[in-house]
Structure formats: C-alpha cells, structure tokens
Amino acid sequence: MLGSSLRTKLVVYTVLIVLAVAGAIAAISVTLAHRTSAEAYEQHVTDLAKTLGEAVLEPLYELDIKRLRQQTGAALASEGAMRALILDAGTRGLTDGTDDNLLRGQRYADPLLRSAVDCKQWTVLTGGGRIRVAGPVLATADTRLGYVVLEFSTARLDQEWKAHVGRILLLSGFCALFASVAAIVMANRITRPVKRLTDFADSIRQGSRPQDVPDCGRDEIGRLALAFAEVLTHLDRSNSELTELAASLEDKVKERTRAAEAGNKAKSEFLATMSHEIRTPMNGVLGMASLLEETDLDEDQALYARTISDSGEALLEIINEILDFSKIESGKLELRSQPLDLRDLLSGVVRMLEPKAAESRVALRLVYDPALPAGILGDEGRIRQIIVNLVGNAVKFTEEGVVTVKVTGTNLTSQSLYNIAVEDTGIGIPEDKLASVFNAFSQVNSSATRDFGGTGLGLGIACRLAHLMGGEIDVRSELGKGSTFTFSCTFSTVRDSVTG
C-alpha cells in the first residue's frame, strides 16, 4: 500500500470501510435475530408445556394413564418434540407418551425438575441442542398433582439461523460489490485532476515543462493548481534573476581574482627586488663593520662596531626570510636533490645553536634512531633551514630546561619516512592559537614580538618548504609545559639511489 496510487488507496479504503460497517451490521442483525428466535421458540415450548399441564389435570387427578398417554402423545406429535413426561407428585414417571412406557414408576432426577419442585414454577433450560421445560400441575395453589417435562430439539432454530446468516452474507456481498463500483467511480472523479497535476509536476522534474498548468477544476485541487502555477511563475522570475546575478558575480570574481593575482605577483616581485636591493648594501655594511673590528679600536669603539655587525646580521636574516617567502609565494623556489648525511646535518645544527642555548641555560640534545639510514637525497640547505627554524624557536621560547631533537621513522625498501621532532620545555602555546602558528607574520600574541623578537615568518616558511618536499609539520603543545614540532617527510636513501 505504501507505493500504491491515490486512486487505489481510495478504492481499497472505501471498500474496507463498507465491509467493516456491513460486517458489523450483519453481526448485530444475526445476533439479535437469533436471540429473538430463541426467545420465541422457548416461549412456544413453554406455552405448549403449560397447555399440556392443563390438559392432563383431570386425568392426573384420576390417575387415568390411558388419557395421560394420549395427551402426551399429542404433544410428542409436535414438530421438534423429543420427549414428553408426566410425573406424579413424587416425581415418579407415569407416562412418556409411548406404548412401552419404560419410565413408569421410576423416579426422575434432573436439576431442571429440582428447580421446578423447589420453586413451584415453570423452568426453562437451553443447551446441547435442546430446549427443556419443566413445571408443576397444580390442583390448587398449594396442591401439586404432578409435573410435566418437555424436551424439544433446536435443529429448526439452527436451520433458521444459518439461513438468516446466508441471507445477510449475500446482502453484504451485494453491498460490497456496489461499494466497490461506487468507490472506483468516485476515485476516478477525485484523482483525475490530481493525476493531471502530478503528471505536470513530473514533467517539470524531468525538465520538459509544458506551457500551462492543467485545468483541475474549481475545488481545492483546482486552487492548488493555481497556487502551483503562481509558484512556478515566481520560480522562473527568481531563476532568471539568480542567473543574471550569478553571471554578474562570476565576472566580478574573475575580475577581482585577476586583480588579486596581479597584486600578489606585484607584491612578490617588489619584495624580491627590495630584498636584493637592500641585501647588497647590507653586505657592504657588514663587510666594512668586519674590517673595522680588525683595526685598533678602544673598548667603546669595538662595542659600537660589534653592535653594528650584530644588527646588520639580524636585519640580513629578516631580509633573507622575506626573500624566501616571496620566492615560495611566486612559485620560483626550486629544490635541489643531492646526497647528504642527515645525522651530520642535524649534529651541525645542534652544535651551531648550542652556544646560544647555553646562554639561556637550555640543554640541547640530539637523539637519532640507529635503525634509520643517515644517507638521503634532498636539498641540504632547505632541510637545514627548516631544522634551524624549529630548534631556534624552541630555544627562544624556552627560558630554562631541555630542547631535544628526536629522529624516528620507518625504513622502507627504497625510501624512508623520517619524523624529526623538536621537543621543548618552554612556555607552550594556547590551544586556540595552534591553528595560526604557521600563518605568515603571525605570532602567539603581540607580547611575543616584544619579548622574544622575530617577524613571524620563520614557521610559515618552514611549513611551506616542508610541503614543497612532500612532507608536513604538525605541532602539539600544552600551555606552560612545552611544545613539540614534528617535521615528517619521506626521502630516498642514498644507497637505494646509487644502486638503483
């Protein structure tokens, strides 16, 4: 029924309702008719028994057995009669209406007769396909001459009940047939406009919309069709406006994308050019400062020269970061692939940064998994740049404690996966700031720049370099307990490359 049409549902539901109502009416009618027939039949048998009691009053008084048998035999001649007994006042049998009279002189014991004896009134008991009636034969109100017992079969009553049921079922069948025909006609009239509207909606869904909404009459379905037509008109208008708006937005997006790309390209070119232009005189300044330090200077002059050199180197580092960032953004940074010893590279970074770490009372350690090969193919300078940035940040943000460079991974057949983790016991990073630490020019908070220095480009450049190598950098941190930055990348081993 879930997938049936509305017409089928209307027909089925209508027929079911008619059958249910007809069945209920038939059941009630049969029940009432049977009850009425049973009561009438019981009354008929009771009247017949009372009539027999009046007829045998005189013969019973005179103990005229012959006349008693005649009266009883007449009662047995009635349709449905099964037994007729005349009993004396002591409930002994006088006659059963037959010539043999087998029950004469025998006491008749029956619950039905006991009730008649005790209550001095006529008693009726129906069951087992029989109707039994027993009652006293009274000479006076207090004098009982005997008793009358009649038994009649209910076969005729059952036949009448079955015939009545047959007529009711036949009538119900005609009603169901008529209801089915009426339901089909009614369902067709009701569902015809619905089907038109449904076919129209299906054609719209399939993309072949007709010109006009079909005529569905002036009732509720007709009003629904008109509302449907108005909705379609509004949808057409809205679709047209949306198409025009989408085209306009697409043109604007393309225009702004071109402008943004041009601006980004101009920015990258400007940064690269300016970095080169600034780095050239800065190298001159650093060279002159180095030469100046080699001359005979007093203590103050040497301090001034050293300050000039340190400041110039810091500025040159910033310029190099900006130049690398602009190259990466413009897609002009090319990676080299050459054999290198990763363990030696990491050891060199640790040795280079140990003095600075010692100044901050930070211990710097390297832990390298001996199962991993040290010889790999990669860009030594860019790998060193990534590690120096990660270790330098760890030392910078660790006031006291340990910074550990831990190398683990998986040794495959021709390649090895390396996980270079830099663990520190520094200030940590708030959880809501973890997602932004790799953004360019971004630091955890504004006070970090004042307290620790830096441009916020280092991690962004390191992350982009890792992506260019096919790897990634992730971070785990807990505020106040430290951070772990892990550079993960797959490198070909030198042995595999040489033998391959």
Query: Which pLDDT belongs to residue 365?
Result: 93
Query: Which pLDDT belongs to residue 500?
Result: 33
Kindly report whether the global pTM for this prediction surpasses the value 0.75.
no
Q: How far is CA 112 from CA 109, 130, 209, 320, in A?
A: 9, 13, 85, 124
Count of Cβ atoms closer than 10 Å to residue 52 Cβ: 25
Higher pLDDT, 225 or 85: 85
Split at pLDDT 50, 70, 90, the class of 496 is very low
* Region 219-230 average pLDDT: 71
* Region 264-281 average pLDDT: 68
**φ, ψ (nearest 5 deg) of residue 438:** -95, 0
CA dihedral 81, 86, 89, 94 (to 10 degrees): -150
Share of the chain above pLDDT 90, in %: 12
Whether pLDDT at 91 is above 70: yes
Whether pLDDT at 497 is above 60: no
**What tokens appear for 53 in the block?**
């009691």
Question: How many angstroms separate the CA atoms of 72 and 104, rounded?
Answer: 13
Split at pLDDT 50, 70, 90, the class of 449 is very low
Looking at the DSSP bridge assignments, the partners of residue 408 are 419
Question: How many angstroms separate the CA atoms of 440 and 467, rounded?
Answer: 15
Query: Which pLDDT belongs to residue 68?
Result: 83
Q: Which residue has the tokens 């720049």?
A: 449
Burial class (CB in 10 A: 0-12, 13-18, 19+), 429: buried
Looking at the DSSP bridge assignments, the partners of residue 404 are 365, 423
Whether pLDDT at 141 is above 50: yes
HSE-up (13 A, CA, CB side) for residue 12:
8
- Give the list of residues 6+ apart from residue 261 with CB closer than 8 angstroms, or none: none
Q: Are 33 and 157 in contact (CB under 8 A)?
A: no
Q: Which residue has the tokens 């909705």?
A: 231
| HEC secondary structure over the chain | CCCCCHHHHHHHHHHHHHHHHHHHHHHHHHHHHHHHHHHHHHHHHHHHHHHHHHHCHHHHHHCCHHHHHHHHHHHHCCCCEEEEEEEECCCEEEECCCCCCCCECCECCCHHHHHHHHHCCCEEEEECCEEEEEEEEECCCCCEEEEEEEEEECHHHHHHHHHHHHHHHHHHHHHHHHHHHHHHHHHHHHHHHHHHHHHHHHHHHCCCCCCCCCCCCCCHHHHHHHHHHHHHHHHHHHHHHHHHHHHHHHHHHHHHHHHHHHHHHHHHHHHHHHHHHHHHHHHHHHHHHHHHHCCCCCHHHHHHHHHHHHHHHHHHHHHHHHHHHHHHHHCCCCCCCEEEEHHHHHHHHHHHHHHHHHHCCEEEEEEECCCCCCEEEECHHHHHHHHHHHHHHHHHCCCCEEEEEEEEEEECCCEEEEEEEEEECCCCCCHHHHHHCCCCCCCCCHHHHHHHCCCCCHHHHHHHHHHHCCCEEEEEEECCCEEEEEEEEEEEEHHHHHHC
Q: Are 378 and 385 in contact (CB under 8 A)?
A: no
Query: Which pLDDT belongs to residue 451?
Result: 47
